[in-house]
Structure 1
Amino acid sequence: MIRVIAPLLMLALTGGCGLRPLYGGGMNSPTRTLLSGIQVAPIEGQSGWLVANALRDRMAATEAGGAPAYRLDVTLDDQIIGLGVRGDDSVARERRTLRARYQLVDLSTGQVVLDATAGSDAGIDVVGSEYATIAAERTALERLSGIVADQMVARLALFAQRQAKGE
């Protein structure tokens, strides 16, 4: 009996803590409305192509068509830095870092309504095969692109919720 009552009691208590689902409200939620009105501007380079596609993939479920209300401008900084050094002075490990500065621009006023950053990094083992190292660097970039896009979409969703509350 306690196993049934305890979870129900905990569920009832969480309603008063101020937590609300970020995408709560279904089709008419502020988050969905904002995300469906964002146009992702072209981003330079291979990393830009990957991040732009990842952003579009994450916002695809919210696309409603029509004219966009916002434009997302993104500038990327993609770096690979050698870390470990072997006895023959060759690099043993690399760190790939992908950082994004993004601005959400209101198309009706031209005003930047959100200016934020996102980023992540990944370690890469440098092996004897140049092909394997290049493949690992590309895989790391693909993974980092998804992580950075997730961070950006989460921040945009939070922005939408705060706008709806008037903060």
Structure 2
Amino acid sequence: MLSFNRRHLLFLGAAALGACGFTPAYAPGGAGNALQGQIEIDAPNTRAGYLLTRALENRFGRTSSARYGLSYGIDIRQDSIAISASNVATRFNVLGNVTYALRDLETGAVVTSGKVDSFTSYSASGTPVATLAAERDAETRLMNILSEQISTRLLAAAPTPAQ
């Protein structure tokens, strides 16, 4: 009779991943290495653009000699989701989407492009200063979420470096 052993299950899972050609993104020869320090992100012209650029540069690094260029467009809007009995909005959703395109700077060809979207919320029931701080924090969180989605998609589409 076979006994259940988690180590055997983990070993079988790792063997299956290796057999299917799975390579971690940041392993030697992985897609993450192909993009690390190789992406020049368009200069921001809004606070949201600055937050997105900062988050993406934290992920991929800054570079002075990029192979790829990343262009993006940000669209943000707010919807009230809670209204008090006196008809005052007390909670807002911040909805955002980013369209992006990664292009090879040598050839000008688009390597990958797409659109990501998400939302965050904040409360507007405090003082005006607290409400403004909450709104800015929600925008920061939203840009971090969108940058993670973009990063994941760029890593999935990245060419594997030659070995």
Aligned to 1:38: 39
- SS at structure 1 position matched to 2:85: coil
Equivalent-residue separation in structure 2 for 1:132 and 1:104 (angstroms): 38
Q: Is the 8 A contact 2:35 2:60 kept in 1?
A: no
C-alpha displacement of 1:77: 0.8
Aligned to 2:27: 24
**Unaligned regions of 5+ residues in structure 1, if any?**
none
Aligned to 2:143: 145
Q: Is the 8 A contact 2:25 2:33 kept in 1?
A: no
Letter in 2 for 1:157: L
Equivalent-residue separation in structure 1 for 2:15 and 2:96 (angstroms): 42
Aligned to 2:111: 113
Q: Is the 8 A contact 2:92 2:124 kept in 1?
A: yes
C-alpha displacement of 1:100: 0.7
- SS at structure 1 position matched to 2:82: coil
**After alignment, is 125-134 or 49-58 more displaced?**
125-134
C-alpha displacement of 1:151: 1.0
- SS at structure 2 position matched to 1:75: strand
Judged with a 3 Å threshold, the aligned counterparts in structure 2 of structure 1 residues 7 and 102 are, in CA distance, closer, same or farther, namely closer
Superposition CA RMSD, Å: 2.3
Q: Deviations over 1:3-48 (max 9, x none)?
A: 45444344334433443312232xx434312342110111221011
Structure with a larger share of its residues in helix: 1
Equivalent-residue separation in structure 1 for 2:26 and 2:145 (angstroms): 19
Letter in 1 for 2:25: L
Does residue 164 in structure 1 map to residue 160 in structure 2?
yes
Q: Is the 8 A contact 1:35 1:157 kept in 2?
A: no
Equivalent-residue separation in structure 1 for 2:111 and 2:27 (angstroms): 22
Q: Give the alignment's TM-score, normalised by structure 2.
A: 0.84
**Unaligned regions of 5+ residues in structure 2, if any?**
none
Judged with a 3 Å threshold, the aligned counterparts in structure 2 of structure 1 residues 126 and 22 are, in CA distance, closer, same or farther, namely same
Q: Is the 8 A contact 1:70 1:107 kept in 2?
A: yes
Letter in 2 for 1:164: T
- SS at structure 2 position matched to 1:142: helix
Q: Is the 8 A contact 1:43 1:75 kept in 2?
A: no
C-alpha displacement of 1:110: 2.0
Aligned to 2:100: 102
Q: Give the alignment's TM-score, normalised by structure 1.
A: 0.82
- SS at structure 2 position matched to 1:108: coil
Q: Which runs of 4+ in 1 moved over 6 A?
A: none
Does residue 86 in structure 1 map to residue 84 in structure 2?
yes
